[in-house]
Structure 1
Amino acid sequence: MKSALILVISSFFLIGVFGELVSVMQGYSVTLHTDHTEIQRADTVEWRLNEVRIAKISMDSSGVISDSVSSDEASRDRLQLDRQTGDLKITNFKTTDSGQYKLKIKSTRGSSEKTFSVSVKFTADKDPVKSVSVTVGKPVTLKTEKQKNQGMKWRFGSQKTVIAELKVRADSFTVYDDVLDGIFRDRLKLDNQTGSLTITNTTNEHAGVYEAELRGSSYTIHKTFNVTVTDVKSVSVEGDSVTLHSGLAQIQTDDVILWRFGAQDNIIASLNGPVVDPRWSNMHLNKQTGDLTISNIQRNQFGDYKVEFNTTNMISHRKYHIISGE
């Protein structure tokens, strides 16, 4: 089901207090901006929801920053304070998060207030991360519904590298397909009306987490996609050998690698401990690269394989489907 994203904006000025009406799809994330580039000495930033304080950050005269968020179990793990700007991010937005958010900033230069009336937009797809699968060589489109007055950025990977951007004021859009060693070169297409991103001729390198940031005047909506790329491997006959590549050049000390098999996603190989199962005695895991080699493959080993890796640079999944070439 196609997700819809609707944002209605209303701004007014009343004695230094700004109001903004924001509608967020259930399960998405939203960042409310202070519009300050950084917190200064002796500044205090306070966020309230329906007059109840949910977050506070301050810097004392010596430059030491202290912050706190609500201890309410339902929301505390979903509230994030930016220690540089004081921006408030609410992840996996729920109905209980709706209401009036009030920002108060106190400093030696004076005080200011801003309010946001934030409501939830219901959708059948409540998952905060939308899973998308594609076969190697095929295109995949990550769909968004950008409003006319919104700018946006597309980011990829755990480092959140910007790979595409649409600027409202300049009325222009750009794809940065030379970043990340050029893995997206000549493969990105950005719809400047909806903001949807298409990746053509996908490879295993394109598996991972993508985030769309839709920027309004004082807020940002975040929509996250987890793209899994499936590669089909054909073995000539039972008894052949096949190597499934993790895609990593070299494993680092803290990397976590898991290989799974079948509809139940059973773990069959792990760098972090042995997997004792006599059915996989013909399997070898390369400790340097994470590649999995299956020698003398048996018919009951045909099927779906998935590698999950969590490294300092990325969190990603790749899939292989082994079939008989007979």
Structure 2
Amino acid sequence: MEGDSVTLHTDITELQRDDLILWKFGLQKSLIARINGVAKNISVYDVLDGRFRDRLQVNNQTGDLTITNITTNHSGVYEMIISGKQKISYSVNVTVYAHLPVPVISKDCTKNSVSSNCSLLCSVLNVRDVSLSWYKGNSLLSSISVSDLNIRLSLEVDYQDKNTYSCVVSNPISNQTQHLNITQLCQTYCVFCCHVSEAVIRLVVSALVGVAAVAILVYDIRSSRVEQKNYHRHHQTVSDETFL
């Protein structure tokens, strides 16, 4: 799990003087640790993206490599090479899993449930490589496994159903469960109607604002015309008086 510390072992009980141990990571086989038995020197290295910074620890007796506060970015293949009296190498694939969120159960308002049925959706967001399952008691009803970030699974139940249902999200090392409250959830109204009403209200308000803007524009135009007429009349009167 993310946040754990993982130790990769060399299976050496004690480092010999002529032992040289290299730890490498990823497809590029980037060197991340070097243990020199002759010089009794230990060096750790980071990769370009900095994912190992301040996270690597090496046992100076055995050459074991520990990765602290591990994250999903540390998933991958680690290779260990020992050069000494004999050359030994092996690789191990490390998979780090993120902490799972609790699934969310909601009423599926996109479906028109027939008779007394209630359509439900169980969903989880921002997770990868998990399984999502519906259970009736301890019996598995349906399950789906995908690598997508967002996953959901539907279920239809009767409004009067007295059985216990639960939705479970899981990966190989952990799981999270959400229990279904049929009475509370299935008797709630869908918010779709509210969204429609809100949209209508916004449309009406926008129309009123538009009408008001047009009215103000028409008023300004009429006012300008009246002012122009008054201006011409005034100047015409002044001209007549000057002529007389």
Please give the TM-score of this superposition, normalised by the length of structure 2.
0.49
Q: Which has the larger strand fraction?
A: 1
Please give the TM-score of this superposition, normalised by the length of structure 1.
0.38
Q: Which has the larger helix fraction?
A: 2
Higher relative CO (CA 8 A, sep ≥ 6), structure 1 or 2? Answer: 1
